[in-house]
Amino acid sequence: NAGVTQTPKFQVLKTGQSMTLQCAQDMNHEYMSWYRQDPGMGLRLIHYSVGAGITDQGEVPNGYNVSRSTTEDFPLRLLSAAPSQTSVYFCASTRSGAGNTIYFGEGSWLTVV
């Protein structure tokens, strides 16, 4: 049981490039979400999903796309990277319903130059 796995751990992009941050969980969790964390700040929700084929926006969705074709995977796409997207990105998952434990991945450090 690997929990929530994020790849890559570190990435440097040039402005305008696109890339995908991968997130996978092996706990058969229905709910998955992506957060970003800027220096000295708490995490902010980007997008979330309540099941395969269903996604919705969070607090800071601009510049990011998501899709959920399987229960296990929830990739985050940066369409045209900007320096403002330099951040640490965290993926999380949990079972459906209220009051369940929410598990986080170890993070993906992204620098856009």
Partner 1 sequence: DAKTTQPTSMDCAEGRAANLPCNHSTISGNEYVYWYRQIHSQGPQYIIHGLKNNETNEMASLIITEDRKSSTLILPHATLRDTAVYYCIVSANAGGTSYGKLTFGQGTILTVHP
Q: Would you count residue 71 as binding partner 1 (CB under 8 A)?
A: no
Distance CA 98, CA 78 (A): 30
Q: Would you count residue 48 as binding partner 1 (CB under 8 A)?
A: yes
Kindly state the smallest distance separating residue 113's Cβ from partner 1, in Å. Answer: 20
Kindly state the smallest distance separating residue 62's Cβ from partner 1, in Å. Answer: 18
Distance CA 91, CA 106 (A): 8
Distance CA 108, CA 92 (A): 12
Q: Which is nearer to partner 1, 40 or 62 (CB)?
A: 40
Please report the sign of the dihedral spanned by the C-alpha atoms of residue 27, residue 32, residue 36, residue 41: negative
Quick note: the x/- pattern for partner 1 over 74-93, rule CB under 8 A, is --------------x-x-xx
Kindly state the smallest distance separating residue 32's Cβ from partner 1, in Å. Answer: 7
Q: CA 100 from chain center: how many Å?
A: 19
